[in-house]
A = this chain, B = another copy of it.
Amino acid sequence: MRWQDLENEPCSIARTLAVVGDRWTLLLLRECFMGMRRFEQFQSRLRISRTILRDRLNHLVQHGILRRCEYQTRPTRYEYRLTEAGRALHPVMISIAQWGDAYMADPSGPPVTRRHGCCGHALHAVFKCAECDEPVRPKDVVVEAGQIER
Contact = CB atoms under 8 A, between A and B. Distances in A.
Interface of A: 1, 3, 6-7, 10-19, 21-24, 26-27, 30, 33-34, 46-48, 64, 85, 87-105, 109-119, 121-132, 134, 136-148, 150
Given A13-B27, A23-B23, A125 B114 contact: no
A15 B112 CA distance: 12
Given A1-B48, A10-B112, A12-B111, 14 more contacts: A1-B47, A3-B24, A11-B100, A14-B30, A17-B26, A88-B99, A90-B136, A95-B95, A115-B143, A116-B134, A117-B139, A123-B129, A124-B129, A124-B131
Contacts of A132: 116, 118-119, 121
Given A95-B92, A132-B121, A100 B27 contact: no
Main secondary structure of the interface of A (DSSP, over half): mixed
B119 A134 contact: yes
Given A116-B136, A142-B117, A143-B114, A13 B97 contact: yes
A110 B101 CA distance: 32
Contacts of A18: 104
